[in-house]
Structure 1
Amino acid sequence: MLVFPIVFYPLRLNFDGLLFPSARPLTSDNLRFGLISSGLITLIFLGANFIPSIWDAFQFTGATAAVCIGFIFPAAITLRDRHGIATKKDKILCIFMIVLAVFSNLVAMYSDAYALFKKNASPRE
């Protein structure tokens, strides 16, 4: 029962930080807090009602999360290069790694979607 609030709180904070990076804290802006909360709850409600099986959601989430954690996030951190130690070769390799990760993620998601629709398609006679 308490899993949703524990997961929803950091989701709301991170979403707010992504959309409004220089705004005042979320706790002091009731309108923004209400809009973000209601938008996320609506999105979660629609997803819970229209996703046929939790395993389908796990397939798409797993395919996306694995690529992001393994390839996109490390390459993005290297591209950010706060200390200026990355060479031009490193940055080119990071861009190639991100492009390759996005391509492989698209292939994985297409494969998951194709299997989902093929499984649910009714046979035509």
Structure 2
Amino acid sequence: AVRFSYAAHLMLVFPIVFYPLRVNIDGLLFPTAPSLTTSNLRFGSITAGLIAVIFVGANFIPSIWDAFQFTGATASVCIGFIFPSAVVLKDRRNRATNRDKTIAIFMIVLAVFSNAIAIYSDAYALFKKT
């Protein structure tokens, strides 16, 4: 039952996550190009490339729990530190003081440092185990 629920979850969530991933990759690679819906070649190549990367990653990750460790380490740091600090730095109404912006930059640096340590420890434990 647990394996079935994982499979059903992945089948239902993958399209929801894959669409914004494809749109954002298109925006990063082709910032001045027209909408992704206008170019079948670009749509197909980005989709095939992303599916190939996901397929290779799925075959080389030994356990789903390893993927959860890396995802959790990254997501928790982003949600807890980076996103709130980025909101302060992107303040368009100038409500944040220079002290607030300095603290936000410090928080981003601290988050990147702690995330690097978390990912390193997860990777070290993964490679030490095998």
Q: TM-score normalized by structure 1?
A: 0.86
Partner of 1:57: 67
Amino acid at match of 1:73: F
Alpha-carbon distance in structure 2 between the residues aligned to 1:100 and 1:29: 41
TM-score of the two chains, using structure 2 as the length reference: 0.83
List alignment gaps of at least 5 residues for structure 2: 1-10
In the other structure, the counterpart of 2:95 is: 85
Counterparts of 1:21 and 1:73 in 2: how far apart (Å)?
23
RMSD: 1.5
Residue 105 of structure 2 corresponds to 95
Match in the other structure for 2:38:
28
How far did residue 27 of structure 1 move? Answer: 0.6
- The number of equivalent residue pairs is 120
Which range is displaced more, 47-56 or 29-38? Answer: 29-38
- Report the CA distance between 1:18 and its aligned residue: 3.6
**Percent sequence identity over aligned pairs:** 75
Counterpart CA distance in 2 for 1:3 and 1:113 is 26
CA distance in structure 1 between the partners assigned to 2:42 and 2:87 by the alignment: 29
What is the rounded CA distance, in whole Å, between the counterparts of 1:22 and 1:84 in structure 2? 30
SS at match of 2:67: helix
- Please state if 1:8 is matched with 2:18: yes
- The corresponding residue for 2:7 is none
- Aligned position for 2:27: 17
TM-fit CA distance, 1:22: 4.1
Moved over 2 A (4+): 1-7, 14-23
Letter in 2 for 1:83: R
Counterpart position of 1:123: none
State the Cα deviation string for residues 52-83 of structure 1 (Å, max 9, x = none).
11110110010001001111011112111122
